[in-house]
Amino acid sequence: MSGLATRVRREDGYSLIEIMVVIGIMGVVGGMAVAQLATTRNVVRGDAAMRQVISQLNLAQQQAITQRRYIEVTFDTTHNWISIIREDTTTTTTTLSTTLFEGGAVFGLTAGLPDTPDAFGNSAATCFSNSTNGTFASATGSTKVAKFAPDGTLVDWNGITTNGTVFTTIPNTSPVARAVTVLGSTGRIRGFRWDGKQWVKV
């Protein structure tokens, strides 16, 4: 008789309360995972835009050195694309490549954030300057242009060495700010990520 009672108790299964507790725990864990996934996705999108800028600047610099010509890097802040253009003569140019941002990233400043530790300026999404003429950027509407010299340095239209910063962000998200700086005198290019408190070199 006692063996039958034991068998019946084992076949009872889980109570409704136990099932509800498990479902509740699964819901909380699932909600946390979804929130974390959205944050991670934005971080990845921000990093992708930053690395795209770094890649295009590196490519332009390499082209300038290997082809022994001035290479322009054009930032279209309306359509959010980057073009690399070779100066063939004083009046003719050749577009070598054009790359469009993906994942909703744009050229842009995030309100309230300070300049990067390199301190090359943050008055615009694409900011290039030198001590001679202050803020420098060739502009036609929303298009901003930087230029690498045949020796790999970044210069303005008068051939004067200039420093620069390009800022990217993803609109309508918690701050996903990125920056890429160029030290004109050496052509050094490096990226920065905003970690919520400060710019961190990548």
Integer Cα distance of 85 and 97 in angstroms: 7
Integer Cα distance of 51 and 63 in angstroms: 18
Residue 190: C-alpha distances to residues 28, 62, 63, 80, 83 (Å): 40, 15, 18, 20, 19
Domains of the chain are 2-201 (3.55.40.10)
pTM over 0.85: no
pLDDT of residue 143: 52
pLDDT digits (tens, 9 = 90+) for 77-106: 888 999 999 999 888 999 999 999 888 899
